[in-house]
A and B are shown apart, each in its own frame.
Chain A
Amino acid sequence: MEYVISFILAIISYMVIDNVILARYFGICSFIGVGNKIKSSIGMGLAVFFVTMMAALVCWPLYNFILVPAGMEYMETIVFILVIASLVQMVGFFIKKKSMSLYKTLGIYLPLITTNCAVLGVAESNMAFDFGRSMANALGTSLGFVLVIFIFACIRVKLEGSNLPKAFKGVPIALIVAGLMAIVFMGLGGMINLGTWGLI
């Protein structure tokens, strides 16, 4: 029971307190680039969710059962990027072949995700954790990505019609909105103390 509670708390903590974009700086490129279409932000978020979960599921056993026993921890970066890139291409291949509607919603974003820092960043930071904690990390991180990218697209829709100074149009105002969002999320900081649950 305690393990389940700590698992859920870890997910919430990674999702809102230690948010992937606003506190850990992963995936800012796609966060800013995806623009003001709510639909495309959801597609991007779902694609990142899917690939992050899969990469975490594959990379953790690969590292702990193959690379560590053979004493080849130094190869983690090259192995992980190749695994993630092949996973992305394979999934994209199947989606392209089998399902048109799925390809329309998230298939076009899949090739972009190879170069999304969030996926590789989660896989790399999972190496210090046990399996349960690494799954909580992957789940919480990707849910946090979906949440923030969706809220951000909604805000940018409203920004479209607003009267901004010319210099702030586009990326600068997006970054400032992200900064304000980061301040909001900072306020949640004291909500969960992971130390009391033995998670740190």
Chain B
Amino acid sequence: MSQTGYIIIAISIVVILVALFTISFVAYVKTPAPAGCEAGKGPNCENCEIASCRFYASAEERAAKKRQEETMAGKE
């Protein structure tokens, strides 16, 4: 096959995969989670510190929260 053919195959593979990913991503996000286990609220989220999670607060926010808790405790 010619060089152009390979380039067309490569581009079409990427386009197909991106379309597949986008469709499944949108389908996943649009589907409501079963009651009681929404992400960010579940019982498992309290102790989890996986920073790559979209629902995980950034380090600055966590530090601010911690400081707030400390000042609250200090007032008491």
A68 contacts partner chain B, Cβ-Cβ < 8 Å: no
A89/B49 in contact, CB under 8 A: no
Residue of A nearest to B7 (CB): A72
A35/B49 in contact, CB under 8 A: yes
Top 4 closest pairs, chain A to chain B, by CB: A33-B50, A35-B47, A89-B24, A82-B17
CA distance A85 to B38 in the complex (A): 20
CB contacts (< 8 Å) of B31 on chain A: these are 93, 96-97
- A75 with B53, Cβ < 8 A, contacts A36-B47, A82-B21, A89-B21 known: no
Interface 0/1 of B31-58, CB less than 8 Å to A: 1111011010010110111111110000
Judged by DSSP, the binding face of B is: loop
A32 contacts partner chain B, Cβ-Cβ < 8 Å: yes
Contact of A72 among B10, B18, B34 (CB under 8 A): B10
B64 contacts partner chain A, Cβ-Cβ < 8 Å: no
CA distance A73 to B47 in the complex (A): 41
- A39 with B44, Cβ < 8 A, contacts A30-B50, A82-B21, A103-B37 known: yes
A33/B48 in contact, CB under 8 A: yes
CA distance A27 to B16 in the complex (A): 28
Q: How large is the interface on B (under 10, 10 to 19, 20 to 34, 35 or more residues)?
A: 20 to 34
Looking at the complex, which of A4-12, A107-115, A118-126, A187-195 is the stretch in contact with chain B?
Answer: A107-115
A104/B49 in contact, CB under 8 A: no
B52/A85 in contact, CB under 8 A: no
B9/A93 in contact, CB under 8 A: no
B24/A40 in contact, CB under 8 A: no
| A62 shortest CB reach to chain B, Å | 9
- A37 with B50, Cβ < 8 A, contacts A71-B6, A86-B20 known: no
CB contacts (< 8 Å) of B27 on chain A: these are 89-90, 93
A-B contact pairs, 6 of them (CB 8 A): A35-B49, A40-B48, A86-B21, A89-B21, A96-B31, A100-B37
B50/A82 in contact, CB under 8 A: no
A199 contacts partner chain B, Cβ-Cβ < 8 Å: no
Residue of A nearest to B26 (CB): A89
A43 contacts partner chain B, Cβ-Cβ < 8 Å: yes
Residue of A nearest to B18 (CB): A82
CB contacts (< 8 Å) of B21 on chain A: these are 82, 85-86, 89
A34 contacts partner chain B, Cβ-Cβ < 8 Å: yes
CB contacts (< 8 Å) of B48 on chain A: these are 33-35, 37, 40
CA distance A129 to B31 in the complex (A): 38
| B55 shortest CB reach to chain A, Å | 9
| A149 shortest CB reach to chain B, Å | 12
Residue of B nearest to A67 (CB): B13
Interface centre among A30, A43, A78, A93 (most CB of B within 10 A): A93
